[in-house]
């Protein structure tokens, strides 16, 4: 029997609060915020049953959810590691050494871009501009930016992740 | 020293909280504005000469005056906080450290435009900032500056924060509206413009964070006083986010009367280039505006100093000038490779193209592939002309300006740095291990001797 997908009561209350921000009949506007909530609550990615559940909640067609979820880069369409390392590599970050940071992570974790480590701990995602140009190079981990990176700082972050001491939310 | 209007209190501890903001005179502009009529506020904004700070520089007051006002149809103000242009991080600074300045600006603007429900559309990756904004909104509400019957005026206003999902295209106003309606961020054909049919087909004004924040000092000091700051049509102050090869990256508020040279080298701003390196090039207005070599950046072709304002940066058109854009100021030193830099920007625009228009969808990918080939020492001389041809076919041929934004960096790089592209192609082995360097880029145009 398949697992029943449902938001926790507090998340469901949050969904209804979000829907109330828009005029009646415009609940589709809640799609992006609700997808963020769903991704957070259902394992860091959006499985088809999860997207179908979101469609049902918002009284829209599943295809309307799929086309949006696949358009925006923040939504993961396949399972990811516990820690998703999003390293910015555009323009100013490149000027300040983002490729060196990316190479270091690739080598250290033995993964390519978009891959997840075998232990399911880390996924590496190069990102195109995250708005931290003055504090480059940088990476995003969960909700937070880690800026002015050096190789040593990256090593420290990875170690702290392994110890479960890096806040994601 | 430049006059500070937006960041004057940014250094004060706790300024992000209502109590501290209020003690510094916060919400006095809102109190003043709510005693004015919407038309009087609009007149002040028009008089101020404020130009949209998101990049296009369109006069804000004029944009507001286009708003359709049909009877019985709600109108909306939507603040564009999508800020995804490489080099630009000024709105992040404003929202993170001065959220009440934005909320107060939104209250005044909403009152002027007749918007009872306004939205802040913020890029999804700024995921800690919505918490800051929502806290500020709650504080403002508790103090009676948002919600029902604000300050007994009968005006109601709610502000909501909406997180995007990570798409640069959503900084384009119609794509932003599509996204806010829960759709893919595909830009709409214009007309109709958002001022007539915007969010949910209702009349809507979409403005950048900095533009709306600037409404507060405009009301505080009057539009006429705001217009006296700066020069020409570059009135008021402008936030510049400086990054790249500079000693002091960060967000600076300038009054648009300083020279580019002063901005780069003075200790008050960027503090010069690290390790005594020489300036090679600069993109002064975010990645989409044309890159200019040092020789054309510091002085115009007439030998006059180039100033940090809309007109001076654009002096000479794209042949010798550039644009103020969003104020994302990216400095490149002598060690930077223009081909590599252009390639990363092409990759960015290819990644961020929404895929709706063929010239943009196909052209950006094609440009990226060619640039990658040249950067990797596999280019052919005819690739340069092909790149030029592709960017020409993208520019002006798409629904939204992303096509232009993708074409201009490539065009400017070829226009000014063709020698460097040729060197890459002629020296495939060398270009993998070393950079072209400075060549003549750093030899500034001689200054004009002015008679006293």
Cα dihedral angle (B86, B88, B94, B95), rounded to 10 degrees?
A: -20
> Can you tell me the ipTM of this complex?
0.96
Contact A84, A43 (CB under 8 A): no
pTM: 0.95
Tokens 């930016």 locate to: A145
Q: Which residues does chain A have within 8 Å of residue B241's beta carbon, measured at their own beta carbons? A: 133-134
Overall average pLDDT of the A98-114 stretch: 97
* Structure token digits, residue B99: 């959220």
pLDDT tens per residue across span B16-52: 999 999 999 999 999 999 999 999 999 999 999 999 9
Contact B18, B140 (CB under 8 A): yes
pLDDT tens-digit profile, chain B (452 residues) = 778 999 999 999 999 999 999 999 999 999 999 999 999 999 999 999 999 998 888 999 999 999 999 989 999 999 999 998 999 999 999 999 999 999 999 999 999 999 999 999 999 999 999 999 999 999 999 999 999 999 999 999 999 999 999 999 999 999 999 999 999 999 999 999 999 999 999 999 999 999 999 999 999 999 999 999 988 899 999 999 999 999 999 999 999 999 999 999 999 999 999 999 999 999 999 999 999 999 999 999 888 999 999 999 999 999 999 999 999 999 999 999 999 999 999 999 999 999 999 999 999 999 999 999 999 999 999 999 999 999 999 999 999 999 999 999 999 999 999 999 999 999 988 888 888 877 766 666 667 665 54
Contact criterion met (CB < 8 Å) for A134 and B125: no
* A114-117 long-range Cβ contacts below 8 angstroms, 24+ apart: A116/A79, A116/A80, A116/A81, A117/A81
Contact criterion met (CB < 8 Å) for B183 and A68: yes
Residue B387 confidence (pLDDT): 97
Residue B429 confidence (pLDDT): 87
SS3 A99: helix
Q: pLDDT band at residue A3, thresholds of 50, 70 and 90?
A: confident
Residue B440 confidence (pLDDT): 66
Residue B434 confidence (pLDDT): 83
Assess A121–B contact: CB distance below 8 Å, yes or no.
Answer: no
Which residue in A133, A138, A148, A149 has the most chain B C-beta atoms within 10 A of its own C-beta, making it the best mutation to test that interface?
A: A133
Rounded distance, CA B255 to CA B233, Å?
A: 12
* Structure token digits, residue B308: 């940090």
Contact criterion met (CB < 8 Å) for B344 and A94: yes
Give B341-407 as a DSSP string. HHHHHHHHHHHH--S-SHHHHHHHHHHHHHHHHHHTT---HHHHHHHHHHHHHHTT-SSSTHHHHHH
Rounded distance, CA B346 to CA B361, Å?
A: 12
Q: Which residues does chain A have within 8 Å of residue B164's beta carbon, measured at their own beta carbons? A: 32, 72
SS3 content of chain A, % helix, strand, coil (to 5): 45, 10, 45
Is residue B222 left, alpha or beta, with left meaning phi > 0 and alpha meaning psi from -120 to 50?
Answer: left
- Kindly identify which residue of chain A lies nearest to residue B246, measuring between CA atoms: A134
Rounded distance, CA B349 to CA B363, Å?
A: 10
Burial of B233 (0-12, 13-18, 19+ CB in 10 A): middle
Contact A21, A6 (CB under 8 A): no
Residue B452 confidence (pLDDT): 42
Give the number of residues written for chain B: 452
Give the DSSP H/E element, type plus range, for residue B330: strand B328-333
What percent of chain A is modeled with pLDDT above 70?
Answer: 99
pLDDT tens per residue across span A18-68: 999 999 999 999 999 999 999 999 999 999 999 999 999 999 999 999 999
Contact criterion met (CB < 8 Å) for B84 and A35: no
Q: Which residues does chain B have within 8 Å of residue A64's beta carbon, measured at their own beta carbons? A: 182-183
Top pLDDT among A2 and B177 is at B177
Report how far Cα B215 is from the mean position of its chain's Cα atoms: 17
DSSP B280: E
Q: Which of B74, B126, B164 sits opposite A32 (nearest CB)?
A: B164
Rounded distance, CA B420 to CA B339, Å?
A: 7
By C-alpha distance, which of B409, B327, B360 is closest to B175? B360
Contact A32, A72 (CB under 8 A): yes
Give A27-47 as a DSSP string. GGGGHHHHHHHHHHHTTTS--
By C-alpha distance, which of B196, B441, B217, B234 is closest to B336? B441
Contact A130, B83 (CB under 8 A): no
């Amino acid at each position: 029997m398949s697992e029943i997908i449902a938001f926790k009561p507090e998340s469901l209350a949050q969904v209804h609060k979000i829907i109330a921000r828009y005029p009646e009949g415009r609940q589709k506007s809640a799609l992006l915020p609700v997808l963020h909530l769903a991704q957070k609550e259902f394992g860091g990615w959006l499985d088809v049953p999860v997207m179908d559940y979101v469609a049902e909640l918002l009284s829209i067609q599943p295809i309307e959810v799929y086309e949006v979820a696949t358009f925006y880069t923040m939504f993961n369409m396949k399972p990811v590691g516990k820690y998703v390392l999003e390293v910015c590599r555009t323009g100013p970050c490149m000027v300040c050494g983002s490729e060196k940071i990316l190479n270091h992570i690739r080598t250290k974790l033995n993964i390519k871009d978009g891959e997840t480590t075998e232990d399911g701990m880390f996924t590496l995602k190069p990102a195109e501009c995250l708005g931290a140009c003055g504090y480059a190079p940088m990476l995003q981990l969960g909700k937070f930016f880690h800026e002015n990176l050096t190789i040593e700082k990256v090593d420290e972050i990875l170690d702290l992740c392994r110890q479960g001491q890096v806040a994601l939310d | 020293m430049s006059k500070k209007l937006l960041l004057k209190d940014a250094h004060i501890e706790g300024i992000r909280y209502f109590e501290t903001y209020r003690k510094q005179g916060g919400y006095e502009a809102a109190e003043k504005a709510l005693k004015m009529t919407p038309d009087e506020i609009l007149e002040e904004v028009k008089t101020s000469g404020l130009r949209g700070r998101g990049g296009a520089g369109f006069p804000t007051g004029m944009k507001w005056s286009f708003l359709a006002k049909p009877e019985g149809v709600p109108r909306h103000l939507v603040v564009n906080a999508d800020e995804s242009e490489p080099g630009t991080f000024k709105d992040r600074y404003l929202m993170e450290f001065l959220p009440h300045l934005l909320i107060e600006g939104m209250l005044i603007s909403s009152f002027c435009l007749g918007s009872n429900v306004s939205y802040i559309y913020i890029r999804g990756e700024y995921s800690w900032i919505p918490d800051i904004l929502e806290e500020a909104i709650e504080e403002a509400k508790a103090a009676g500056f948002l919600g029902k019957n604000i300050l007994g005026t009968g005006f109601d206003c709610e502000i909501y924060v909406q997180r995007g999902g990570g798409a640069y295209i959503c900084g384009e106003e119609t794509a932003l509206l599509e996204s806010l309606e829960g759709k893919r961020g595909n830009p709409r054909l214009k007309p109709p413009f958002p001022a007539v049919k915007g969010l949910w087909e209702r009349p809507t004004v979409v403005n950048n964070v900095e533009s709306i924040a600037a409404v507060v000092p405009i009301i505080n000091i009057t539009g006429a006083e705001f217009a006296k700051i700066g020069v020409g049509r570059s009135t008021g102050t402008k936030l510049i986010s400086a990054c790249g090869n500079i000693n002091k990256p960060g967000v600076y508020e300038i009054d648009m009367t300083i020279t580019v040279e002063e901005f780069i080298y003075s200790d008050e701003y960027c503090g010069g280039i690290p390790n005594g390196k020489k300036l090679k090039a600069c993109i002064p207005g975010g990645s989409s505006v044309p890159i200019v070599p040092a020789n054309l950046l510091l002085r115009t072709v007439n030998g006059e100093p180039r100033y940090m304002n809309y007109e001076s940066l654009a002096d000479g058109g794209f042949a010798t000038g550039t644009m103020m854009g969003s104020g994302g100021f990216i400095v490149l030193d002598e060690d930077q490779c223009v081909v590599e830099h252009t390639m990363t920007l092409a990759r960015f625009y290819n990644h961020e193209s929404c895929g709706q228009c063929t010239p943009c969808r196909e052209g950006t990918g094609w440009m990226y592939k060619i640039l990658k080939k040249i950067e990797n020492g596999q280019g052919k001389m005819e690739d340069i002309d092909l790149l030029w041809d592709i960017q020409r076919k993208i520019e002006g041929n798409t629904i939204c300006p992303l096509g232009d934004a993708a074409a201009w960096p490539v065009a400017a790089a070829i226009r000014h740095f063709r020698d460097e592209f040729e060197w890459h192609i002629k020296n495939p082995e060398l270009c993998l291990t070393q950079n072209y360097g400075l060549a003549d880029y750093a030899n500034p145009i001689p200054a004009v001797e002015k008679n006293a």
